[in-house]
């Protein structure tokens, strides 16, 4: 089945993924098949004239697995231009209600950082533990599952800093308080090579120096800093 046919089936099954708000400034998804094909034909001719691959304007489901859809939509921009626009959709959150989790683990005034290999970047990254959402698990249960799987922690005090909805699931950020004697056991199968404990004062300098590049970890850091500095009420689970 070609990419466009799969796309049209998905559009029929999941119209929520293709909704337009009709507000000014919106990038509008073109959902009419005949117009998609007509615009695609014009853009392919332009690409050919410029000596560029025609596949650059293939519209449809470019790839999918149990985790993601990668789509290229035909869209109309606010200024009237028409072209392809790629997006990826987290199926675990959208369909199964899974909550991705980011875990900022602390022991006294120190925070745990792990060195993880990121396949998409083909490089190592110092960051906080995190993981994809598993369907059927609440954010809190998935946080505890990830703690056990990634760093071997079975007991910790969790504080939910934020929970952002995405489809039926979303992403949650937790402040995780570990006991003083808690040992860390990294899961080698997850691409983890080592860990280190960093004082909060040192972490602040790392962030200021641009040495924390993982945006999920930056998000967790900013939330924990705001919550703890302002003394806001937190929800323990």
Can you tell me the distance from the alpha carbon of 142 to that of 137, in angstroms, rounded to the nearest whole number? 6
Can you tell me the distance from the alpha carbon of 110 to that of 200, in angstroms, rounded to the nearest whole number? 6
The DSSP secondary-structure symbol of 66 reads: S
Q: What is the mean pLDDT of the segment spanning 92-109?
A: 87
- For 59-87, write each residue's pLDDT tens digit: 999 999 988 999 999 999 999 999 999 99
pLDDT at residue 171 above 90? yes
Check residue 97 and give its pLDDT. 77
Q: Does domain 99-236 have CATH number 3.90.79.10?
A: yes
Task: State the pLDDT confidence band at 234, using cuts at 50, 70 and 90.
Answer: very low
**CB-based burial label for 8 (10 Å; 0-12, 13-18, 19+):** middle
Q: What is the mean pLDDT of the segment spanning 146-150?
A: 95
Residues of the chain with CATH 3.90.79.10: 99-236
**Is the overall model pTM greater than 0.75, yes or no?**
yes
Check residue 95 and give its pLDDT. 74
């Amino acid at each position: 089945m070609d990419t466009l046919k799969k796309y049209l089936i998905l559009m029929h099954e999941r119209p929520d993924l293709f909704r337009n708000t009709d507000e000014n400034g919106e990038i509008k998804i073109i959902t009419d098949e005949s117009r998609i094909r007509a615009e695609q034909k014009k853009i392919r001719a332009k690409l050919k004239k410029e000596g560029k691959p025609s596949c650059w304007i293939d519209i449809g489901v470019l790839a999918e697995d149990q985790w993601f859809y990668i789509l290229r939509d035909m869209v109309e921009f606010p200024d009237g231009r028409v072209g392809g626009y790629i997006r990826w959709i987290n199926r675990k959150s959208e369909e199964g209600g899974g909550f991705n989790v980011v875990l900022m683990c602390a022991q006294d005034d120190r925070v745990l950082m792990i060195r993880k290999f990121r396949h998409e970047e083909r490089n190592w990254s110092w960051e906080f533990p995190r993981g994809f959402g598993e369907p059927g698990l609440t954010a809190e249960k998935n946080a505890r599952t990830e703690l056990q799987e990634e760093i071997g922690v079975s007991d910790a005090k969790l504080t939910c800093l934020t929970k952002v909805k995405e489809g039926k699931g979303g992403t949650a950020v937790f402040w995780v308080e570990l006991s003083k004697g808690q040992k860390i056991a990294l899961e080698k199968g997850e691409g983890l090579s080592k860990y280190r404990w960093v004082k909060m004062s040192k972490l602040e300098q790392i962030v200021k120096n641009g040495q924390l590049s993982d945006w999920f970890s930056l998000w967790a850091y900013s939330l924990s800093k705001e919550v703890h500095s302002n003394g806001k009420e937190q929800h323990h689970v």
